[in-house]
A and B are shown apart, each in its own frame.
Chain A
Amino acid sequence: NAGVTQTPKFRILKIGQSMTLQCTQDMNHNYMYWYRQDPGMGLKLIYYSVGAGITDKGEVPNGYNVSRSTTEDFPLRLELAAPSQTSVYFCASSYAREGPGSYEQYFGPGTRLTVT
């Protein structure tokens, strides 16, 4: 299994441009997440999904959009990029637990995005 894969690894955007960060997992996990991590800081949840066709906002959703048409894929769309979106973006996935609580999250290698 490849686990969680993300593309691209690095990207430089100009202010106002748009792009899609790709995330794919091959573990048949139904939960998927997008986080951003600013330099020297912790992880902030952008969006998450509990299954195909279902998405919900996290702590910092402004400026981003997501879709989940399949179990495997969870792309993150940046519209009108701003310097404040310069960050490392991590995608993660996990199994759903029967009942409350969740299983461990598996993270992709990250996408380092710079907006200038």
Chain B
Amino acid sequence: QQPVQSPQAVILREGEDAVINCSSSKALYSVHWYRQKHGEAPVFLMILLKGGEQKGHEKISASFNEKKQQSSLYLTASQLSYSGTYFCGPEDFGNEKLTFGTGTRLTIIP
């Protein structure tokens, strides 16, 4: 079953903050986050692992609630370059594959 992301779309002014949520129906080992700009391939942002280890880059942070099977991505002081569609990719136990979420389209305006 496909993970559900919320909101589906959001429009922000440059400098504003955003939170993107991802909910899964399965017990998770990790959650990946990717950003895809229009007409391009998805690009890795961050991995959150069970137990709290976090890998990522850029000025973007995330949280992972294993009990609730949820993850949230936090974008603070958004920049124009943050525009794109964000996908979460939860990974359940025993699998080497991700099930990508429904996506959140983020538009940053000047």
B-contacting residues of A (Cβ < 8 Å)? 31, 33, 35, 41-45, 48, 50, 58-59, 90, 96, 100-110
Contacts and interface: CB of A to CB of B under 8 A. Distances in A.
B29 A101 contact: yes
14 contacts: A41-B103, A44-B100, A48-B97, A90-B41, A100-B50, A100-B94, A101-B47, A101-B50, A101-B91, A104-B32, A104-B44, A105-B32, A105-B42, A106-B44
A45 B99 contact: yes
Contacts of A48: 96-97
B97 A45 contact: yes
Given A44-B100, A104-B32, A105-B42, 17 more contacts: A33-B97, A42-B2, A42-B100, A43-B100, A45-B99, A48-B97, A58-B97, A90-B41, A90-B42, A100-B50, A100-B93, A102-B30, A102-B98, A104-B44, A105-B34, A106-B44, A107-B41
A109 B40 CA distance: 7
Contacts of A33: 97
Interface in B53-91: 55, 87, 89, 91
Q: Which of A41, A44, A100, A107 has the most CB of B within 10 A?
A: A100
A58 B30 CA distance: 18
A44 B102 CA distance: 10
- Size category of the B interface is 20 to 34
A110 B41 CA distance: 7
Nearest to A104: B44
